[in-house]
DNA sequence: GCGGCGACGTTATGCTATAACGTATTCAAG
DNA sequence: CTTGAATACGTTATAGCATAACGTCGCCGC
């Protein structure tokens, strides 16, 4: 079971190809990166990638990283439905660590309640250096 | 003192023009939006805007909103914050509310310490509807 | 004066994302 | 079976965001 990333069975061919590309990448990919990886499979146009990405993101199988204009496969394909997600992105190796924090989520909820703001979506992205890269540089 | 936004005196002409444009805008502006507003002042090329924006953002006089690819003037021109800044962006009217939360900041700091991640920059952007727009829609 | 530095202006280019069109497939209602 | 809605698809063209690479200018310390 070398590459079981828990890919759902009801994806279209394009969606499956795009998610596969993200799953095998060690770092986030831009839509055009993905396109380049999939030309050999017959994909030719950016829109084919963007349309697949839209569906994958909608379903929570992939995430868009706003500060990179790039995408990653969800790190937790089984239970990531609920709540705020934060991403820690290493500037050195590109690796992304996806995590959730209930305290932060609750705190944002309280702020929204106080100000009467209705939250629809939150993006939280931390840029820096991961432990491995820091260690390697030392 | 109609438009005293606390603009520093040591800005270059281009930086002053760009910051002025941001200060007078009711909502975030893209670099190209800014360029269009400043053609009458003689600015012609995107790079003139981006260079000014780089400096302004570096000094904390303006902020980049990653999820919009746009920029806003700092809402707190007198004491540019040192810590984490969060932005709540209304999808209806475009208004941006800038705030800080020490609890969240501390929580992220704790996460970073636990995982050995060295944070360099954090972006936090909430999309939704502001209280005024919700009220107007009701 | 000279050399380093930082801002500037211009042209060209590259990367990211969507508009607009038509076609193919599926599926359920009539 | 036919029809029509819904959805995915493919293609071309275009829009929107950002930087590379070059040379110039003015300032300031030496
Ligand atoms: Zn996820
Ligand atoms: Zn790393
Ligand atoms: Zn600010
Ligand atoms: Zn609003």
Residue B46 belongs to a domain with what CATH number? 1.10.10.10
pLDDT at B80: 65
For residue A53, give its domain range: 13-73
**Which has the minimum average pLDDT: A9-23, A72-86, A88-102, B45-59?**
A72-86
| CATH code, domain carrying A103 | 3.30.1490.190
Query: Whole-angstrom Cα distance, residue A9 to residue A29?
Result: 23
Q: What is the pLDDT of residues A68-88, one digit of tens each?
A: 999 999 998 666 667 899 999
Query: Whole-angstrom Cα distance, residue B116 to residue B91?
Result: 36
Do residues A57 and A22 share a domain?
A: yes
Do residues B63 and B83 share a domain?
A: no
Instruction: Choose one of B73, B90, B108: the last residue of a domain.
Output: B73
| Record: contact B123-A125, CB cut-off 8 A | yes
pTM (two decimals): 0.93
Query: Is the per-residue pLDDT at A23 higher than 60?
Result: yes
Nearest by CB to B101, which of A111, A115, A129? A111
Residues 49-78 of B with CB under 7 A from strand C: 51-52, 55
pLDDT at A80: 62
pLDDT at A9: 85
pLDDT at B57: 96
Determine the distance between A86 (CA) and D24 (C1') in angstroms. 46
Q: Cβ of B47 < 7 Å from strand C?
A: yes
The average confidence (pLDDT) of chain A is: 93
> What SS3 string covers chain A?
CCCCCCCCCCCCHHHHHHHHHHHHCCCCECHHHHHHHHHHHCCCCHHHHHHHHHHHHHCCCEEEECCCCEEEECCCCCCCCCCCCEEEEECCCCCEEEECCHHHHHHHHHHHHHHCCEEEEEEEEEEEECHHHHHHHC
pLDDT at A72: 97
pLDDT at A77: 65
Rg (C-alpha) for chain A, rounded Å, is 17
Residue A9 vs residue B30, higher pLDDT: B30
Do residues A19 and A64 share a domain?
A: yes
Q: Is residue A2 part of a domain?
A: no
Do residues B103 and B126 share a domain?
A: yes
Q: Is residue A4 part of a domain?
A: no
Do residues B68 and B94 share a domain?
A: no
| Record: contact A117-B107, CB cut-off 8 A | no
Longest dimension (CA), chain B: 52
Query: Is the per-residue pLDDT at A25 higher than 60?
Result: yes
Q: Is residue A117 part of a domain?
A: yes
Q: Is residue B92 part of a domain?
A: yes
Interface probe with A: pick from B98, B111, B138, most Cβ of A within 10 Å = B111
Query: Is the per-residue pLDDT at A3 higher than 50?
Result: no
Q: Is residue A3 part of a domain?
A: no
pLDDT band at A1 (very low <50, low <70, confident <90, very high): very low
Q: Give percent above pLDDT 90 in chain A.
A: 86
Q: What is the pLDDT of residues A39-68, one digit of tens each?
A: 999 999 999 999 999 999 999 999 999 999
Rg (C-alpha) for chain B, rounded Å, is 17
The SS3 of residue B118 is strand
Output the six-digit token pair for A103.
Answer: 């305290």
Q: Is residue A94 part of a domain?
A: yes
CB-CB contact of A37 with A51 (8 Å): no
Q: What is the pLDDT of residues B76-92, one digit of tens each?
A: 866 666 789 999 999 99
The shortest C-alpha distance from B70 to chain A (Å) reads: 12
Output the six-digit token pair for A64.
Answer: 């868009």
Do residues A46 and A87 share a domain?
A: no
Q: Is residue B2 part of a domain?
A: no
Phi, psi of A77 (to 5 degrees): -65, -15
């Amino acid at each position: 079971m070398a590459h079981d990333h828990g890919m759902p069975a009801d994806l279209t061919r394009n969606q499956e190809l795009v998610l596969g590309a993200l799953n095998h990448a060690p770092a986030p990919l831009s839509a055009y990166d993905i396109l380049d990886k999939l030309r050999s499979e017959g994909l030719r146009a950016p829109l084919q990638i963007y349309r697949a990405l839209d569906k994958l993101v909608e379903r929570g199988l992939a995430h868009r990283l706003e500060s990179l204009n790039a995408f990653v496969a969800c790190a937790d394909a089984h239970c990531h439905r609920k709540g705020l997600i934060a991403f820690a992105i290493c500037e050195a190796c590109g690796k992304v660590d996806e995590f959730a924090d209930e305290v932060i989520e609750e705190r944002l909820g309280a702020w929204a309640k106080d100000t009467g703001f209705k939250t629809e979506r939150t993006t939280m992205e931390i840029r820096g250096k991961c432990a491995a890269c820091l260690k390697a540089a030392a």
